[in-house]
Structure 1
Amino acid sequence: MNLPRLLLLTDRSQLPLGRSLVSAVADCVDAGLTHVVVRELDETPLARMALVAALTEVGATVISAHDALHGAAGVHLPSSAATVAPRDLPWGRSCHSATEVHVAAAAGAAWATLSPFAATASKPGRRPIERGEYAVAATAGIPVFALGGITPENAVDAIACGADGLAVMGAVMRAADPASVVRELLDLLEDAPW
């Protein structure tokens, strides 16, 4: 799987009232988004598989969170999960330190998220990790995505700290115009070093 510089994580509970998750993601795909991590962990596996299918249909490459779902192109595991994802899919891991990124890379992860980059309304009370962790994590040999509190205002800082890309949830999910946030983040990433 070719990884992009921007991953969108879903959380329908953060959408403005009346907006559907599929239509929000479709708008983001129209704005240039390619990859989506389907979370919605309160849903049944069957409902999550239906969501994977619906988001694939609107043009997204879909990664499922926590477990392999039929139709997903990869799996994003939590930091506490078993090492290897089933079905030989490419997988990544949520990490909270550079050491965890190195452990994930050694176990075969194809990518990692490192969080939280900044204070985030999605997980209030969690302190951001030290910025230097991104530079150390970058030496693991896999793409590292800054996650947690990512906005267009701090995206360039995340890349400057050593992140290869951005993983965003709240700034897009809560936006009145999710596509405009995605477009702004992609424009910023276009000029950032890879």
Structure 2
Amino acid sequence: MRVVPSGVVVLTDRRTAREPLDRVVAGAVAGGVRWVVLREKDLPRAERAALAADLRAILADAGGTLIVAGPDPLDGDAVHLPAAGPYPPPTHPLVGRSCHNQAELHRLTTEHYTTLSPVHPTRTKPGYGPPLGTERLHRLIQSSPTPVLALGGIETPAQVTACVKAGAVGVAVLGALMRADDPTEAATTLTSAFEEAVTPMTPTWRGGAQVSTTGLRPTVPTQGSSLTARSGHGRPQPPTATTEGKR
């Protein structure tokens, strides 16, 4: 059964981040995050690939997965594509796509998940929209052929809960983690809100995709799977978040 992103998914933005990306991601992982989307598309490929390797190493010890924005997986096997293309999508083990409306959802074919955005006004892309709001988000999710991550302006536990109630299997956040004074605390707050909101819900999606029962730590493939993050020997390991630390 294929595993798709769920819970709190972090999108990177080194220009917005208060600290270097590796520290922010390590903090987010300590707070329960298990999925990270590497953006930074303006970097040269070699530099971006090195950054991807560093972030995969951080995620590895927690069983997390790095997804790369764009068709080039940077020596991995999970990508997130823009709404504009490419079509048809590449045949990587995990492929997601950004969508914003019904027409873009109708173009989905073999993608495994999608993001819908912007749910709320966002400081990262001011003026981008108009915002969907949770009611339209719910309607679009009902017609989506894939599991949906809600994206855009999601910064509070109440917003996380509303997106889950609208049918999202997770929330993708950027500013809430990149701008946080304490990424671990921010991640813990949001992942705890997701866990509480999703606990009574059924952990599967039509089509056979699997999402986490709790949402805090999505089920990941077993060791040896192409989607399991590879460990990086000699790299700093993020602290392990405890149950007590999340409450």
Please report the TM-score for the alignment, with normalisation by the length of structure 1. 0.90
What is the Cα deviation at residue 130 of structure 1? Answer: 4.3
Q: 1:163 to 1:137 in 2, by over 3 A?
A: same
What is the Cα deviation at residue 174 of structure 1? Answer: 0.6
Q: Quick one: which amino acid aligns to residue 54 of structure 2?
A: A
**With CA pairs under 8 Å and 6+ residues apart, which has the higher RCO, 1 or 2?**
2
Partner of 1:156: 161
Check the 8 A contact 1:9/1:38 in 2, yes or no: yes
What is the Cα deviation at residue 83 of structure 1? Answer: 2.0
SS at match of 2:47: helix
Deviates most, 1-10 or 34-43: 1-10
Partner of 2:192: 187
What is the Cα deviation at residue 81 of structure 1? Answer: 1.1
Measured against aligned partners, the alpha-carbon deviations of 1:112-142 in whole angstroms (never above 9, x if no partner) come to 1100011110000122114333223323242
Hey, what's the Cα distance between the residues in 1 that align with 2:77 and 2:10?
14
Partner of 1:21: 21
Partner of 2:96: 92
SS at match of 2:161: helix
Q: Residues 107-122 of structure 1 correspond to what in structure 2 (within 5 A)?
A: 107-122=109-124
Deviates most, 138-147 or 74-83: 138-147
Measured against aligned partners, the alpha-carbon deviations of 1:56-85 in whole angstroms (never above 9, x if no partner) come to 111241100012223334110011011244
1:83 to 87, 97, 109: 87
Q: Quick one: which amino acid aligns to residue 94 of structure 2?
A: P
SS at match of 2:80: strand
Question: How many correspondences in the alignment?
Answer: 190
Q: More helix per residue: 1 or 2?
A: 1
1:125 to 119, 124, 127: 127
Q: Quick one: which amino acid aligns to residue 181 of structure 2?
A: A
Partner of 2:67: 63
Deviates most, 80-89 or 58-67: 80-89
Q: Quick one: which amino acid aligns to residue 115 of structure 2?
A: T
Partner of 1:41: 41
Q: 1:84 to 1:52 in 2, by over 3 A?
A: farther
Deviates most, 54-63 or 167-176: 54-63
Hey, what's the Cα distance between the residues in 1 that align with 2:102 and 2:193?
24
What is the Cα deviation at residue 87 of structure 1? Answer: 5.0
Please report the TM-score for the alignment, with normalisation by the length of structure 2. 0.72
Larger radius of gyration: 2
The Cα RMSD (Å) is 1.7
Check the 8 A contact 2:148/2:169 in 1, yes or no: yes
